[in-house]
Amino acid sequence: MIMNLQKHYTLFILLACFFAACSDDSGNAPEDPAIISGKTVSGVAQITSFEKNTTISIYELDKEFQKTGIVYETEIDNDQGEYSANVKELKSQYALLKASGYYHNFTTNKQSLHKIALYAIVDMNDDKGFNINMLTHLAHKRTIYLMTQKKMTIEDAKKQAESEILKSFGIDEKFKGAGDLDVFENGEQGAALLALSILLQNEILKDNIDKQINDIATDFEEDGTWDDEKTKTLIADYFYELFEKTRYSDIQDNIASKIPSIEKPSFDKYINHFWWNNYGLKDCIEKRKNNIAQNTNSNSSFAKKLFICRPEIWRGASDKEKTKYYWPDTLDNSKGKDGDIYRNKTDTTVCYVYDGNKWRKGELNNCTLGLKGCTKERHLEIQKAPNENWYICNEEQWISEHDCGNIEYLDEKWKKSIEVEKDTAGWKDTTEGAIRKGNKTDVIYIFDNKAWRVANLVEASLGGCTEDIQDSIGYVKMRDGQDYINSHGSSCCTSNYCAGPFFTPGHYKCNNLHWEKADKCAIELSRWKNPKEGDSHIQEECGNKCYVFEDGKWRSGNPTECIPGLGGCTKKFNGTMKHGAVIEEGSECNKYGEYGVCEDSVTIVDTTTKSPYICTYPFMYLGDGSIHGHWMLASEGDLELFPTLCTYDTYGRIFSGKNNYYICDKISPKKFTFRKATSDELEEKCSIYNYGKYKTFKGSKAIAKCDVAESNAEIQFYDWTFANDKNQGTMTDPRDSSVYKTIIMDTLTWMAENLNYADSVNYPSMRKHNWCYNNQIDSCKIHGRLYTWSAAIDSVYWSTQGITCGYTNNSKHTPCGLPERVQGICPAGWHLPNSNEWNQLLEWLEKINIEFYRSGFSTDHTGIYFSTSKSYALFTNIENWTYFWSSTDVETTNYKDVMMLQTSSYSTKLESSQSNNAVSVRCVKDD
């Protein structure tokens, strides 16, 4: 990161102004008249929902669009992100707006763990356009580039930058400027901006969201395109999976619960377009209905997956849909004549026919008989094949005279055609699947694919199998004059031609848009009249299995769901308690492994005595994708703690009951219950029992406190946390009587503030080698000083010991050979930390699950001073980064010769650095 910053020094520095500003004896230049004076700046700042009190900063920019040091700050007033600030005076019309704070992530429905910063470049002469959002952030670097390099006006530059970004996310509509957009406004513009924000809040990016959106903004900067295909594909895969699972309903619910005033947002279509474009799928429009297309993105986890356009949305195609609708991409745009055929070269069993101005998959004999394809236009046409047999074109296949009896050739063909036309004359379009008796005959017709056709035997009785009647069952009677369909779904000729029907009378079930013969089990369940949610039934016809009515249909149930008095444990009854017969459960649940299909069984022991049971839902995910619940026999602890449940979420935690303390324990791979906690568990685990108590972390000097870690409307969760109040202290530097906060971390005591000592008389190493950030004394008081490494280790002292350490000379660096402990410029009894001590700190924080910037060690960002040469000196990164020296140097040839800790709100790591830079110093107490 440091090397990248050095590449852009020329963009940050106006040399003459810089040295004039940094010089101690420079005078004050005459001031330019103010361009902006007494202006109130207001708007909304939104990633989606910034937390109240988020900081809003307004930075004045000079002619090179660099910060001048003039800044005004305010805070967000409410949950909608509204802010207002009074700008007294600016000498430039351009400013950089920044919103920095925590926010509510609608994808995870949790507050962010880290702060995020969003920017917007604005013209202060405008009376509008002061909103800060994801689009203004992604566009701000590109806007500055177009203004400085392409000499555009700010209005044209912002318009082009925002259009390029929206296009990269598959959003082509023309919207008003990003600075006028509001995430929570109803309508397409708000939905599009909300979609853009949600796309970049996914769990793939996790804690790196701030870095990721800055990387994307940088990617757009010079060419207006987002070239990071790997990240785009990861995001596309994430939201495609979310679409298949929930259709984004969880996100919509999260928004509705947080902001009830907003209408149900329609951001989903923009998110869908993002992953469609990433997968190479075209828009799913009416003319592409039922088209099958392949994911052509080789980087995707779902590469080569087939999708179907139905209806107006691409989704993963089922095996049946692939068989019915798929045709090769090479034919997609190829025109043909009615009846043209194409034999698949890789699978010669597949034949395609040009029918109705498009290609479709057809029966294989279309490609093998030498008659061309059987199409709608050629319906009932009779032809003699090269094999000397006669065939009739019926719907989409050729039927042999041997299958249909004697064909009375053309006379019969015209007779049948005229009968159908008369029978359906004057009929209008209606609902798909509707049936109707003919005008002249008793033949039943069905409206299918926007046209009337003769219904098959099942359709004549039950109508079309559509999504509205999925899983329904009905009885089919025999009828003459209907089309018949064999067991494989292939169309045959009418009953006048066929030797016999392939459908027989009986019960049929609507399954996946096709009618299929219903088994005895399904028939028996269908006889239940007006079943209610949670009804359960032992089905003798299905091997005495338990079935439960849930969400309007019957599903397989757990044996406990058929215990007298309980009924089904469905989602509706999750966490409820009921009393039912006393049972004994079988022990076959582990037969197929922890995650296999359980073979539970129950034996009813006593129906007169009632035992308490608690519904646990979901308990098991079945092989067909469905789930079921399980009634758990309530223990003493369950009864005392109800309605608090012992589940995955509460496993291992201790709770206070009416009479005892209980721990949530696992009694089988998927079963949990409360049992009495032992005295050792009460002392060891953090719970209400030892709330507020302190103990020493094992193997450490640091103190832990038992405190509330999480709470909701029903229960509180406790955990051992780092006790700042016990671990913090102070130390006084005897050299200048400065007082510093201290903190115990693991086995070491650290300064919890940056060193601010600058006596260059007693420490000549400091002379011209330490600075306050931006040469402002107040910065030293707040953030401490920035030292070069030669100053930090006190290089003048080491020179008296025969060790030369200090500035590099751009040649191979050989380690100085310093001892393990180096006092450097730290006070007596303290020393500069080495790389091992930094690593010990980071590993310990990770072990006790505390983030670096949430620990008591944390400080505000202090930035860095690049002092690589007299020509290029630069203060930077105070908004995002803090750097600390170690006393460890390394052998290197790339001018990075010293180990340094780099930390920000999203990253903490120990890396090598140039010793000529100036950063902060922390000291560690000697043992």
508 alpha-carbon distance from chain centroid: 42
In order of their start, the domains of the chain are 34-223 (2.60.40.1120), 288-326 (no CATH), 332-407 (no CATH), 427-518 (no CATH), 533-675 (no CATH), 680-722 (no CATH), 726-925 (no CATH)
Other C-beta atoms lying within 10 Å of the C-beta of residue 568: 30
Structure-token match 């059987």, residue found:
374
Mean pLDDT computed over 509-518: 85
pLDDT digits (tens, 9 = 90+) for 391-428: 788 777 887 765 544 444 444 444 455 566 677 888 88
pLDDT digits (tens, 9 = 90+) for 68-120: 999 999 999 887 889 999 999 999 999 999 999 988 888 888 888 888 999 99
**Cα 747 to Cα 840: distance, rounded to the nearest angstrom:** 9
pLDDT bin (cut points 50, 70, 90) of residue 686 is confident
pLDDT digits (tens, 9 = 90+) for 194-215: 899 889 887 776 657 888 889 9
From residue 180, how far is each of 93, 132, 177, 193, 608 by CA, in Å?
Answer: 18, 9, 6, 11, 70
The whole-number pLDDT of residue 332 equals 59
| 183-188, long-range: CB < 8 A, 24+ apart | 183/44, 183/46, 183/48, 183/81, 183/133, 184/46, 184/80, 184/259, 184/261, 184/262, 186/262, 186/263, 188/266
pLDDT digits (tens, 9 = 90+) for 219-276: 999 999 999 999 999 999 999 999 998 888 888 888 888 777 777 667 888 999 999 9
- Whether residue 394 contacts residue 403, with contact meaning beta carbons closer than 8 Å, is answered with no
**Cα 448 to Cα 514: distance, rounded to the nearest angstrom:** 13
pLDDT digits (tens, 9 = 90+) for 726-749: 899 999 999 999 999 999 999 999
The sheet with strand 116-123 has its strands ordered as 67-75, 55-61, 94-101, 116-123
| 347-350, long-range: CB < 8 A, 24+ apart | none
Mean of the per-residue pLDDT values of the chain? 81
Other C-beta atoms lying within 10 Å of the C-beta of residue 723: 19
Instruction: Give me the phi and psi of 419, to 5 degrees please.
Output: -60, -45
From residue 187, how far is each of 183, 657, 788 by CA, in Å?
Answer: 10, 51, 55
The whole-number pLDDT of residue 7 equals 37
pLDDT bin (cut points 50, 70, 90) of residue 22 is very low
Which of 718, 715, 753, 709 has its CA nearest to residue 733?
753
The whole-number pLDDT of residue 31 equals 40
Which of 906, 645, 788 has its CA nearest to residue 796?
788
DSSP at 632: E
- CA dihedral (884, 885, 890, 892) positive or negative: positive
pTM over 0.85: no
The whole-number pLDDT of residue 822 equals 95
Which of 73, 117, 69 has its CA nearest to residue 92?
69
ω into 311 cis (within 30 of 0): yes
The whole-number pLDDT of residue 141 equals 94
pLDDT bin (cut points 50, 70, 90) of residue 790 is very high
From residue 812, how far is each of 367, 409, 489, 892, 917 by CA, in Å?
Answer: 75, 97, 78, 6, 17
